Structure 1
């Protein structure tokens, strides 16, 4: 009887290449068994975070604690045998091992006994968090210098007296040779590494908070991460690509909120050229509408001279921004935003501007560099300045490294384990239809438009400088940042002009896209998921961007549980509105769990007082049975490998490929 053929003849060439790695039936069969075993393990824990906005201390604490997963496992293991104070200390030790250990060493008389007890607890935690992985994967996650020792200790049965002596001798030796502190730090890092299998950052790493660069440094070191670009990320990506408009936007935003540390300290970009220009050109100008927003703490360190300079710099770069935005809109009529050309609508004699047929008084028309007859042309000095500043962004090695990472690990949306992740929205019309965009000669909507947008965003960075493709890519990044109903901006207009120059706050409104009303309807969410090929009881849309006003009773769960908004307000500026300091999401093999966080008291206080972020965890959806890796994207990839290996085995047995038995 003929053997059943598991492969098409045209695939034989591929199978011959696969045979170089698995040269005989035994090798291929062994790998099939290994892959099947992996498929039957529980799925790893996914951690979803959004809208961190440069708040690096809170972000790193959430990352270290895995939104409470680490503390929860500590409680499961030790709540009945270890005091709460000791558990608090142990949790802090895992989050910040180096800093906490230094404090403990100063305050503890018998460090040898403390190390002995603590090592036992940390090894037990390692055993707990490694239980859902293969031994091979755990071994690869271990620090190489201690991999053999940790592997032995995790898999030692302490109840056996001989093994207990072996275990204790290992600990004693580590202490005796003065490697205890280093070994402890490595154990803590391993626990955090194994507590979460994969991290999703659903947009907006930059702006508002002080050090987005520190967040990106930590993400680049993280073992497994993807990023969905937020509007503030795209803004910085465009600035790094060489968009003068987006460089001006970054600087105007940073000056407005006194957030220059990331620019000057984080990325080494000098603002001296802007300060010199502003002090010369705007020295005698009205700047009251451009005063920088300072916290009480910051205000105490600012002299009146500092405030004056900051306001002049803010006004100078904002006027440049208005001109460059106008040039972009004139260059791209396909953006459909001609109504946002406002510099040419100013009546200087009557100090007013006409917007959408309505005339509004202006608080400021003192613009020494604006020619009313040619308002969108930069002066020679302005052109030199913005070119110099843009070159500084292009030549910041650290910024370029971070933006390359954002492009390589990021995208406009992500489908992962039957969930659809994006930062902002799928643009929709009021009647519930997908909104169409005609750009680049194409009319697109829904998934097709997001795919086009993702590709266009990459042109800005990867196409050759000076080409039409790169120039359009940079223009398109600006459209994603501020364009009408852009999928990551999600509003009808960005009213920067009105907020700076018009007192009437009715002009400041930025109407949201209809998506933000329609997503309360389960049927709408299900239809959107189908657009991306997703159907089933445990498929969800996960996005951020719009803070959830928890103190007003708003829920992050929309569309009957089909959509989750996980921007609860990491950014301190939003916390008065939201009432909390952020939502995060945990998806493990048993359930989906939303975690709401209270404001973070700061890294130093957390280390000194063992003070964790106060969090409330709510399971909002349980799976019918524990999900195994077989049911995940990785599991499906493993099945494809199994199918290929099964075909290879069949080819060996049919004699189509000759086995190689090297020994």
Structure 2
């Protein structure tokens, strides 16, 4: 009965045998096309320029297409010039105009080259999909130029007439821009962001704007992303931490200029409360010339918000003992006479002893002025239209994990015990592990924004803080976040943040197989793809773990990591031929990339090679198309048996 109801519904869409048959033929043609290219990026950390360039060049995919199409017919310099034009068409055209180039001749040569590239990159898609990707103003003309016309006896004359018309009416430049952007659009079919868009770097808001305009993507939240999501939800520990990190890395302009969040309440409070304090332990990691306000004031603001964070976190840890974050309750362990703090069985002298807002008898209580600051900042975050729009997009396109084309994607780790078993993590009175843990935590993230019940909404907000830095968090995966210790205790032993057993167990293939099985993936081909922990290439560390079953693609987009890792980020390309990692050298600036026609230097590492080229039929989407073909065949059978009557004329 249910099947008949479904076939009746399908008959509304395909009312005749002819229409159902035509759709089967269309779907079958799609299934036999080459699999689209997937592009994986992780741990971007606000580095917009490097991110933008890697996105534009598809981790080398654009340059490979140029090599494939033009082979030895173009020299290296000419290929570099074509690549730069595709990445930065407007800027490159402006540069050429100022150089005295013979623009009419250049337009003609360039148009022919871009048309040839467009033909090749569009060949793996259906004409319908390409049509949807075409820029509206030039859709018809581009379709004419990139579509083979075997019926024409003089193809060259036909195409030349179109190009000459483009030149005659003065539309060469906008047409070239449209073609360049189309090539970028078609080279990569789908983008995966494996977490940590925010923090450290100066322009996460621009990255988010860029992602919101991207044609096809998914996002796996990182711990830095959920921190900002928590701030947008009004969770005060997250708000204080976001502000502290912006101050620590000299990126206050992200809040003030990028999101329009006014820091005046904190400025006023810091001047009043810490005006005579140099706050030396709260130094800013930025050159002085970058600062919009004095470094001395920024250090005082940094200290003010850090103390507020310590207070809010201590209270949260006390109220949520199952989070396992008692290590954040350090203000109650300070002897305020000797200014020493007890951690474990040892006493440590504090490197800063000026805490005018802490009441030793109630160390986690915010003063009236601190409460006022946090109330005003909370309103600012919750009422920030741009931040709320970005977080809404993260909720719509994002998740804690994703299973896609046989691969498991997540940012951090799978919490595990030292013996290789899955760790049980308590979440509001119930223990979860593996996939169930991921699922329940994601449910609470969404409750923080959408629940109609106040208690569940508040629990969801607390889970956002838990995900940021708790030992049981699959996004963090360490024993503690030693923020207080790093600021205020000299002994580096207290700074240690011990990684979850997952990271040592990753060298064993059975670890990956256990995790993949949790998510319904078995066999030789599925892989775990995650980020979060930078790979130290210069120390010989490989991003390929568990005999190729795990790929860690955090190579350090963030500039502070370049010295540690020896590279500037790993990315991953998965196309119809196989899977390859790209290790990127540091990106200088967009201006240098355009002026000197330099690309990011990338070293390709083959992960797998398909002996038989993968098609759409081998993908998740292909499996859905095959299912639809089977259903349409059932519909045709029902028409022919008389079970269902054809509609229409």
For the aligned pair, the TM-score class normalised by the smaller chain equals over 0.9
Q: Summarize deviations over 1:10-42 as a string: whole Å, max 9, x none.
A: 222222222221111111111011111111111
Aligned to 2:190: 198
Whether 1:226 and 2:218 are equivalent positions in the alignment is: yes
Structure 2 counterpart of 1:68, from 49, 60, 73: 60
Q: What value does the CA root-mean-square deviation take over the aligned residues?
A: 1.4
Aligned to 1:299: 288
Whether 1:314 and 2:314 are equivalent positions in the alignment is: no
Q: How far is 1:245 from its partner?
A: 0.9
Say whether the 8 Å CA contact 1:229–1:412 is kept in structure 2.
yes
Say whether the 8 Å CA contact 1:158–1:167 is kept in structure 2.
no
Q: How far is 1:644 from its partner?
A: 2.0
Q: How far is 1:144 from its partner?
A: 2.1
Aligned to 1:501: 488
Q: How far is 1:656 from its partner?
A: 2.6
Paired with 1:471 and 1:543, the residues of 2 have a C-alpha distance of 29
Q: Summarize deviations over 1:305-351 as a string: whole Å, max 9, x none.
A: 81210111001001110111112112212212223311100001111
Aligned to 2:513: 526
Paired with 2:151 and 2:647, the residues of 1 have a C-alpha distance of 46
Paired with 2:632 and 2:290, the residues of 1 have a C-alpha distance of 67
Q: Summarize deviations over 1:391-422 as a string: whole Å, max 9, x none.
A: 11111111111100001100001100000000
Q: Give matches, 1:139-150, under 5 Å.
A: 139-150=131-142
Describe the shift of the 1:157–1:110 C-alpha distance in structure 2 as closer, same or farther (beyond 3 A). farther
Whether 1:611 and 2:603 are equivalent positions in the alignment is: no
Q: Give matches, 1:143-222, under 5 Å.
A: 143-156=135-148, 162-222=154-214
Paired with 1:79 and 1:398, the residues of 2 have a C-alpha distance of 45
Describe the shift of the 1:302–1:333 C-alpha distance in structure 2 as closer, same or farther (beyond 3 A). closer
Paired with 1:124 and 1:160, the residues of 2 have a C-alpha distance of 18
Aligned to 1:463: 451
Paired with 1:392 and 1:544, the residues of 2 have a C-alpha distance of 31
Aligned to 1:37: 29
Aligned to 1:400: 388
Q: Summarize deviations over 1:211-242 as a string: whole Å, max 9, x none.
A: 00111111111110000000100000000011
SS at match of 2:105: helix
SS at match of 1:386: helix
Paired with 2:335 and 2:393, the residues of 1 have a C-alpha distance of 46
Aligned to 2:408: 420
Whether 1:47 and 2:36 are equivalent positions in the alignment is: no
Q: How far is 1:595 from its partner?
A: 0.5
SS at match of 1:421: strand
Describe the shift of the 1:532–1:61 C-alpha distance in structure 2 as closer, same or farther (beyond 3 A). same
SS at match of 2:294: helix
Q: Give matches, 1:262-341, under 5 Å.
A: 262-285=254-277, 287-294=279-286, 298-300=287-289, 306-341=294-329
Q: How far is 1:655 from its partner?
A: 2.2
Whether 1:441 and 2:429 are equivalent positions in the alignment is: yes
Aligned to 2:566: 579
Aligned to 1:550: 537
Aligned to 1:490: 477
SS at match of 2:580: strand
Q: How far is 1:159 from its partner?
A: 12
Q: Summarize deviations over 1:458-505 as a string: whole Å, max 9, x none.
A: 1112224x8111111010100000111310001000000101111111
Structure 2 counterpart of 1:261, from 253, 264, 267: 253
Aligned to 1:251: 243
Aligned to 1:352: 340
Structure 2 counterpart of 1:515, from 502, 512, 528: 502
Q: Summarize deviations over 1:540-582 as a string: whole Å, max 9, x none.
A: 0000000000011101000111100100010000000000000
Q: How far is 1:506 from its partner?
A: 1.1
Q: How far is 1:507 from its partner?
A: 0.5
Say whether the 8 Å CA contact 2:250–2:291 is kept in structure 1.
no
Deviates more, 1:647-656 or 1:97-106: 647-656
Say whether the 8 Å CA contact 1:158–1:164 is kept in structure 2.
no
Q: Summarize deviations over 1:603-650 as a string: whole Å, max 9, x none.
A: 011111101101111212112311111111000111221122122222
Structure 2 unaligned runs (5+)? Answer: none
Aligned to 1:378: 366
Paired with 1:537 and 1:439, the residues of 2 have a C-alpha distance of 33
Say whether the 8 Å CA contact 2:317–2:325 is kept in structure 1.
yes
Say whether the 8 Å CA contact 2:278–2:296 is kept in structure 1.
no
Say whether the 8 Å CA contact 1:567–1:583 is kept in structure 2.
yes
Aligned to 1:104: 96
| Aligned pairs, number | 649
Whether 1:342 and 2:330 are equivalent positions in the alignment is: yes
Deviates more, 1:146-155 or 1:180-189: 146-155
Deviates more, 1:16-25 or 1:495-504: 16-25
Paired with 2:579 and 2:143, the residues of 1 have a C-alpha distance of 31
Describe the shift of the 1:87–1:159 C-alpha distance in structure 2 as closer, same or farther (beyond 3 A). farther
Question: TM-score if structure 1 supplies the norm length?
Answer: 0.96
Describe the shift of the 1:346–1:612 C-alpha distance in structure 2 as closer, same or farther (beyond 3 A). same
Structure 1 unaligned runs (5+)? Answer: 1-8
